[in-house]
Structures are given as structure tokens and as C-alpha cells.
Structure 1
């Protein structure tokens, strides 16, 4: 399965919630959900009753699209979450939150996870002083994450950091805006994830 390259606002309308795939646009009145809060297509405004399976599937698709993953990648994270101690659903979210591209997005260096993934791939991010160009890299406690010095002059990164002041940086990360750097203070907690996610539905889907 190839990565989706179509209009991302359509995905938000399919799921019925904001997935924040379009960066700053998602915080304005131009957001597709604000303008047309119903599914796309000819029959998008029809009321349909979903089965339990359909509800579970939509929740999985929503989270997968939110973090920009392929099906095999998402399944791999779930299997890893199952092997860890604790609650499987929460373990899954914690793994997704620790991805380097997500951390760059959470810190406000980029306006979307898609943009963050590109920034990481192009080698603009350093972890403990070493360049890391793998978006799926899982950050650990006490690691220092920073934008490479030459890349700090990039207009897009500066604009994203400025406009991100309205977003709250998770408590498990400590951001130093002046030096384009941050420190991982701890592992994420469930309360740090503010999106409307029902992870138990995903666990039930994979348990079938």
C-alpha cells in the first residue's frame, strides 16, 4: 500500500474530526471540518449507523492517518505495544508520541507531522549532537533534540515556531525557543495526548 498523496482535508472529513494534517490552516475558519462537517462524496450527508467493527476500524484509521503511518507500520507498533508491560492501548500511543517526527511537531518546529517528517528526512534535526534522519526514531529520556544550526535560518521553521505559541508543549518535553532545542524530560503520559482518541477500540479491533 502506497502513502496517501491526495487532499488531506478529505481525510479529516471522512473521520469527522480534525487530524491537523494541514498545519496552521486547521486552526482557521478555512478548515474543511469547519466549512463542511460531513463526509465527502455524493452520499456524504447521509446518516449511517456503524457496526461495532466499523467503529473500531474508523478509530484505527483515524489514529493511523493522524500520525501519518502505513498499515504495516501501525501493526508493527501495536505488536510492540502488546509485548510491553502496562495497558496495550496506552503503550501504543506512547510509542507513536515518541517518534522523532511527532516530537518535532509537538515542539512547534513544524506546523504538521508531514512537514516534520520532511524536516527530519532532510537532516535538519540533531539528537544529542548527532544528525538523525529517521522519522520513526524513538526518543528517550534526557536526550537533547535541536534544529541544526544552519537550518535555524529556514523561514518555514521560524514561522512555525512563532505561530506555534498558541499550542501547548507537552509536559514531558522542555522547549528552549531561543536556541531551537528541547530536552526529553520523561516518557509521555496519557494526559499529555489531548486529541480525542479511544485507544481501547483499536485494541478490540486487533483482538478479533
Structure 2
């Protein structure tokens, strides 16, 4: 899977705070680029593109993956924008990040890829696995895995665990109690603009 390997702070300066991408904060106030902040009013297309890019970079998706989520969400009854956010929030890599088991989503993805994670007692190495209510997520009973996650838990990426998740820090076991609600989505964006972006393509 292709993933973004470039400078993360530059992306955050352009798009705003992306807690899933990096914990670092830039001291520079202006936008990246030679001319920094321009006074020109952004077009409607650029506003929609910016919201879409926030979603992509925060959750670490490429364009094809995001398009697949959009198509799936359109088939489900309800608000398409909210369903997209719920599907992305319920991914295994994001769920681990929200438990505090990893400081960022790329770090959580590495935990999954390196076989440190078990879901309902089974090893899962697929980052896009959709967590469901009732799923038990735990760290392998391996010394190296336990030490790594305990170190991450001392400095979590986000301060609060969402209401749909429950975590026991002593046993390193987390439980998914339900589907995430809109107010618990960590990233600030307008999901309707993302739906509009794809509906006009």
C-alpha cells in the first residue's frame, strides 16, 4: 500500500491540526510555500479539495481507498458524510490510536502490520479491518509487544478515549462497545464538502 512519506508538519501547516498524522506542532504560522498565505479568496473547489485532503492525510489513505469508502457509504441508508467518518473511525488502526496504544495512526498501523495485535483472540494484521461492537482488542502476550505499547500508553496521542471504547491499561485489553458518534471524531472538518467533492467528479 502506498502511503505518504513526505514532511508531515508541512501538511499540518496547510490543512490544520491532524492528530492522526503527527503529534508535532509547527512554530511557523504562515502556510507552506514561497508566498505563504495569499489574500486571494479560495474557490469552492479548493475548499472541497482541502476537506478531502484532511481526511486522506489524517487516516493515511490513498485516493483509491478513499473512493472505495465513499462508494460503500453511498449504498448505506443515512447521512453519507457521517457514515464515511464512522467507517474510517472504526478501522483497526484508528481504533488502536484512539485507545492510546499508539501515538499516531501510522504508529498504530505499524503495530498491526508487525503482528502485535489480536482481535477476539485471533492475530489480525490488516489495518483496514472494520471493528464491530463487542470486539475485544488486545496486545499479544509477548514481552516486546507489551513493553512497546506500555511506553506508548504513557504518552497517548489524544487525552480522552471516546465513549464507544473501553480500555483496561493494566491488562492492555480494549473493548468496542458501539459505533462512534460524530462529536467524538477527533479531526475538525466538514464531511458534507467531501461528499460534494466526489458527487461532482
Residue 8 of structure 2: aligned partner: 8
CA distance in 1, matches of 2:174, 2:53: 30
Q: Structure 2: any 5+ residue segments left out of the alignment?
A: none
1:168 pairs with 2:160: yes
Gaps of 5+ in 1: none
Displacement after TM superposition at 1:164 (Å): 2.0
Of the structure 1 ranges 193-202 and 159-168, higher mean CA displacement relative to structure 2 is found in: 159-168
The offset of 1:166, in angstroms, is 6.2
1:123 counterpart = 2:115: yes
* Aligned equivalent of 1:189, options 181, 186, 200: 181
1:75 aligns with 2:75: no
Contact 1:99–1:139 (8 Å) recurs in 2: yes
The structure, 1 or 2, with the larger RCO (C-alpha pairs under 8 Å, 6+ apart) is 2
Stretches of 4+ moved more than 3 A in 1? Answer: none
TM-score under structure 1 length normalisation: 0.90
How many residues are aligned here?
A: 198
Does the 8 A contact of 1:152 with 1:180 survive in 2? no
TM-score, normalization by structure 2: 0.93
SS of the residue corresponding to residue 156 of structure 2 reads helix
Output aligned runs, 1:40-189, within 5 Å: 40-150=32-142, 151-155=144-148, 157-164=149-156, 167-189=159-181
Once residues 162 and 3 of structure 1 are traced to their aligned partners in structure 2, the CA distance between those partners, rounded to angstroms, is: 27
**Corresponding residue for residue 17 of structure 2:** 18
1:185 Cα deviation after fit:
0.3
| CA deviation map 1:126-150 (0-9, x unaligned) | 0000000000000011010011111
Give the drift of 1:18.
1.1
Query: What is the DSSP-based 3-state SS (H/G/I as helix, E as strand, rest coil) of the residue aligned with 2:67?
Result: helix
Change (3 A) 1:37 1:205: same
What do the CA deviations read for 1:144-186 (whole angstroms, capped 9, x no partner)? 001111144334x222101229610010011111111111101
Measure how far apart 1:188 and its partner are.
1.0
